[in-house]
Each structure stands twice: as C-alpha cells, then as structure tokens.
Amino acid sequence: MKPIQIYKPSNLQTIVFGVSFLLIILVTVLLSYVTFSSNSRIDDNGKTLTAKAFLILIALMISCAFILFRHINKPKFSLFEDGIKINNGDIISFETITDVYLFLSGKNIGNNYNNLAFKTYENESWNIISADYSGNINIFLDLYCTTKVLFLENELENKKSINFHYIPKNKTNAFAIGANSFVKNLKTETIVVSDKHIIIKDKAYEYQSLKPLYLNNNKFEIKTLNEQILLSFTYLNMMSFDVFRKIYNQRTTK
C-alpha cells in the first residue's frame, strides 16, 4: 500500500550539514599543515594562536558531525488513510493516538506551527515530525481528525468518557528552540468529556448550559449561557484541538 505522504528529514539540510562538515575538515587539515609543517615561517606566538584556532575547528567538526548524525538518523513517518507508520514498523491507527500537539520552534515565529508531536495509548513518549522534515503536516491533521471524531463519537455513545489535555497559559513558552526538549517536560491539565456533560477543573457542566466555542482575541473560550468564562486557551494550547472542537460543538449546538 502506497503512503499518502512521507515525512522525513529534509534532504537539503542533510546536504548543508554534510558540506559544512567537509569544509571544516578541509580547513582544519590545511591549517594544521601550514602551522606544523617543518617549512612553516610562523613564529611561536603565531603557532600558539593558530593551535587555538585548530582546537576550535576540531570542536566545530565534532559538533557538526553530531548534528549531521542526529539529523540523518531521525525516524521516517509514512502516512496512510487509517494511520501512520514509523520507519518499518506497523501502522499506528489514528484511533490509538491519544494526543496531537502542534507547536512552533526556531525563528520562524510568523507561522502558527511547524512541528507536530503525537503519542498513543501504548506509548507515552512523543513522536515528533519536526520543522526540518519534508511533507505537509496538515494532511495528517485532516485524516486524524476525521477518523478520531468518528471513533470518539462511538465511544461516547457507549457511555465512555474522553480526556483532552491542554497547557495552562502560565506553563508554556512562546516558541521552542528545539522540538525534543520542548515536548519532553510539558505540563498539562485535563478536560473530561462525556456524552452529557464536560468536566473542567473538577466541576461538571451540562452541555445545555454552555455555548459553542467562542473565539475572542485569538483565544477560544468555553462559556456558559450567562457569559461566564470557564476556560480560555489558544489553538496550540489545546491538544487535538480540531477533534475537541467538533466533539464539543456537536453537543453544545444540539
């Protein structure tokens, strides 16, 4: 079965890291030859300074090699209609994915997000499709939302409850420097959704007393019919936001 989309480390970045590594090696070799050859006319002070530069280049070479190795050894993700595969493993069904977290890293702060992380019932560790991957993560989001909403609606009809997680505004950063370090220590709180009511901060509210999600100054608000704001959050602070919005709005608009 052919995947709909493949997410893998950018080939362009691999080339850039590889060329940088080779250039550092070349400069290091030339510098060491000029400095330490028997015919060199550089005096002792010059040789000392050049030796320091040589050590700096060695450090840069090691750093560049580490970055290149880490980049080319990142997992490849293959997206299918019913789930996603990591490297050559089995397909992870969208139904088993518990959380999808979108966030921003790097200097490109004009975008809403450029990283996608997800985890499953079986494995609490995050799988990250980071900003240096090729592929369109919105395709993943659309397929996941469609499949997951149908699955959760069936769960709710069978009297089960669902946990959605969000990041309180005082426990998040504006953007991340690195994807792995950012998701590692996420602090979240839980909203519990059932067919008849929703639990926010340990208090239950029936859907008939609530309004659909309301967008106010780039923040979504869960409000009562009396305009009391129960919770306010941004699109990125609510994990699996699109799924939550459909599940919640279907019940508050009945």
Return d(Cα 124, Cα 42) in angstroms, integer: 59
Coil, helix or strand for 209? Answer: helix
Q: Which two tokens stand for residue 194?
A: 């059932």
Per-residue pLDDT of 45-93, as tens digits, reads 655 666 677 677 777 777 777 776 776 778 999 999 999 999 988 999 9
Q: How far apart are the first and last CA of the chain?
A: 40
Confidence (pTM):
0.79
In three-state secondary structure terms, 217 is coil
Angle formed at CA 165 by CA 96 and CA 146, multiple of 5 degrees: 45
Is residue 206 a contact partner of residue 224, using CB atoms and an 8 Å limit?
no
From residue 242, alpha-carbon distances to 71, 129, 213, 226 in Å are 30, 18, 11, 25
pLDDT, tens digit, 9 for 90 and up, residues 167-211: 987 655 545 555 666 787 788 999 999 999 999 999 999 999 999
